[in-house]
Amino acid sequence: GENVEQHPSTLSVQEGDSAVIKCTYSDSASNYFPWYKQELGKRPQLIIDIRSNVGEKKDQRIAVTLNKTAKHFSLHITETQPEDSAVYFCAASSNDMRFGAGTRLTVKP
């Protein structure tokens, strides 16, 4: 089955800086890669996703890149704000979705 590794487990940045979270996956059949943001006590919310026929996707301050050959994908957040502080989960999906272990992002004002 699919195995997803996510790094780093914690990330602290200054407001306005960029944050990058990286994930690798094992199943070459995986073709859908969502990113979820989960604030304390709340549900995971989809923030951006990418499918395997695309190398990069951007939505305002958030971008995701995918390297299918290397089987890794990354989340990039630019101009970080304190409200970006949360746990971020990557996931990879072939038949079923598997989550990475999560990254706790703290943005210091």
Partner 1 sequence: DTEVTQTPKHLVMGMTNKKSLKCEQHMGHRAMYWYKQKAKKPPELMFVYSYEKLSINESVPSRFSPECPNSSLLNLHLHALQPEDSALYLCASSQGARRDTQYFGPGTRLTVL
45 is a site residue for partner 1 (CB under 8 A): yes
Closest by Cα among 58, 90, 51, 50 to 77? 58
CA atoms within 13 A on the CB side of 12: 2
Closer to partner 1 by Cβ: residue 45 or 81 = 45
100 is a site residue for partner 1 (CB under 8 A): yes
Residue with tokens 């990879």: 92
Return the residue of 21, 24, 25, 34 that touches partner 1, per CB under 8 A.
34
| CB atoms inside a 10 Å sphere around CB 90 | 28
102 is a site residue for partner 1 (CB under 8 A): yes
What does the block give as tokens for 2? Answer: 């699919």
> Which region among 20-28, 56-64, 69-77, 91-99 touches partner 1 (by CB under 8 A)?
91-99
> Which region among 18-26, 53-61, 74-82, 100-108 touches partner 1 (by CB under 8 A)?
100-108
Q: In 3-state terms, what secondary structure has residue 28?
A: coil
What DSSP assignment string belongs to 9-39? SEEEEETTS-EEEEEEES-TT--EEEEEEE-
53 is a site residue for partner 1 (CB under 8 A): no
99 is a site residue for partner 1 (CB under 8 A): yes
Interface positions with partner 1 (CB under 8 A): 31-32, 34, 36, 42-46, 49, 87, 89, 93-102
